[in-house]
Structure 1
Amino acid sequence: MASSITVEYCGEWYRVDPGDELVIGRDADLSIDADNQFLHRRFLTVVQVESMWWLVNIGSRLSATVTDADGTMQAWLAPEARIPLVFPETRVVFTAGPTTYDLAIHAESAQFQPIPSEDQPAGDSTVGAVPLTLSQKLLILALAEPMLLREGTGMSAVPTSAQAAERLGWPRTKFNRKLDNVCDKLDRMGVRGLRGGPGKLASNRRARLVEHAVFSRLVTAEDLPLLDSSAQENDDD
């Protein structure tokens, strides 16, 4: 029989025993931000199928980003998709309207233990595969700053393009051009959710960029001083 699993959100812990199910959403077992009408009433569910725990997207519009604790694995959980919860800790992040949420799922008996390479810390292989100019990194930091400043699970607002441009002291046109460059670069590398098109809101693209950058450790809290430094950004895109 599978062991229990626990979901952590905003300092609260929700235990799910074998045979039980935990539904996550605006009006669910784990109620997240009941005032946010962009969030599904029932969005995600943690459920046991035979001896395996699964995270299932039962929503119709929103997707979630799922990673292990070290950011070495990242998956895109679209509506009707599901993913097994095999790591000791699984991080889940998603955006509804202007707000980004993240939670952690802890397994008592994980079926997979990631083993970082001895010659590099976990996450370096992902970061190293995405060369960024300083200006591109500053742009991502300006968007990801609220999430990076907040420790643990919870919610944070994704800055608008105008707010992020003001934080950097850039004209709006420069910010938008560099945002296009960063999203195009990551899209070519297979990161989903960054390409524009009909029905693709700019806010969704910014939020998806933050989700990927934070949970793949493309940027970390240790990088935030760059935003306040006097160094000139590199404009070589």
Structure 2
Amino acid sequence: MAARTSSITATPSGTRTTPIALLRTEDFWVRSSTMLHFTQAGVATQETTRAIVENCRAIDPVSIVTGSRRYNFNTYVYSQQVLFRDCYAYKSRHAFVSNGHSTVSGVVFLRGTAEYALNSSEGHRRWSQGLLYDGHRDIDPHYDYTLGLYNRGRYGTSHGWSAAHSVAWRCDVSTSRLIVQKPPTAQNYAIGCLGTVTGDGPFQQPAGYIEGTGQPGLLPPSLYEAQFLDRLRDGF
């Protein structure tokens, strides 16, 4: 299948805001690429659907540690049906993040690894929905919690509920903690994760659905891959 695109930018060297930005793209792939010395993101999507970012590394960002910086893998507005698979982030603020509010849905972060994270991977603001963190892993985090499906309240530009109808599946936050809270009219889930899983976030809300914390042997190993195989068997 040929990739169709309205705009893609790629800057191969030097310090750049975002080395690879997918803008108004569909059916697009980014594979086996390394992005470094960026300020805002290594790979970012906007107005993009049916994209895969696979086996990529976003490392060594060069910036002060503050807002709008170090979103190593970032889905921005109107990003839907985007898969990040087997990607690695180093020294991020928000390594794997939905940053596009309610126009973002159906984003999968599969087997992502965040090393030396300075803040959490998360739905970031204003009702991102249908996010799946599947097999996410944190190494040597430098923040109190490293994965979040929760209420961010007045943070940033009044971020409010960062995620709804979203799932953390078999994620490893054993050196940190995962926050999962229940939004009004919706739910978030943490299933079979390792580490501390809690509804106790920076803004008080009911805990989300938490099951099987610290219990080995959860099947299927990957929720995304199991659902993908089901669709193939059903002819979709």
Q: Rg larger in 1 or in 2?
A: 1
TM-score (norm: length of structure 2): 0.26
| Larger helix percent | 1
**Higher RCO, 1 vs 2 (CA within 8 Å, ≥6 residues apart):** 1
More strand by share: 2
Normalised to the residue count of structure 1, the TM-score between the two structures is: 0.26
